């Protein structure tokens, strides 16, 4: 749960606690529930894929064929473009 403090007057602070509650009718909404509760896992998988592709290009051996290097870079670019098109960013998670 996140909280933030706001200064009201000299020396006093008010704390507001923000929370969001998602409700699901289970088992009918099970698919929506699974997607909502496993978002961080999806983010982690995409992050690991992105970092793997980054490593394959950044630390590519000289023997790596250019077409393979280009394919790694193209896939990483496509992943980031799809995320951007959907207003998603790896920066969303700190």
Tokens 């051996």: give the residue.
61
Model-level pTM? 0.73
Write down the domain spans for the chain. Answer: 2-92
pLDDT tops 70 at residue 82: yes
pLDDT value of residue 93? 81
Tokens 């009718």: give the residue.
25
**Number of neighbours of residue 86 by Cβ within 10 angstroms:** 8
Question: What is the DSSP secondary-structure string of 5-59?
Answer: EEEEETTEEEEEEE-------TTTTHHHHHHHHTHHHHHHHHHHHHHHHHHHHHT
Q: What is the pLDDT of residues 16-41, one digit of tens each?
A: 788 888 999 999 999 999 999 999 99
pLDDT value of residue 92? 83
What percent of the chain clears pLDDT 90, i.e. is strictly above it?
Answer: 72
């Amino acid at each position: 749960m996140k909280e933030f403090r706001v200064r009201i007057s000299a020396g006093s602070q008010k704390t507001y606690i923000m929370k969001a509650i998602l409700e699901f009718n289970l088992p009918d909404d099970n698919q929506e529930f699974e997607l909502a509760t496993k978002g961080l896992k999806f983010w982690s998988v995409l992050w690991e894929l992105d970092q793997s592709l980054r490593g394959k290009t950044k630390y590519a051996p000289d023997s790596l064929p250019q077409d393979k290097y280009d394919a790694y870079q193209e896939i990483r670019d496509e992943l980031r473009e799809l995320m951007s098109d959907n207003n998603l960013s790896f920066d969303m998670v700190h």
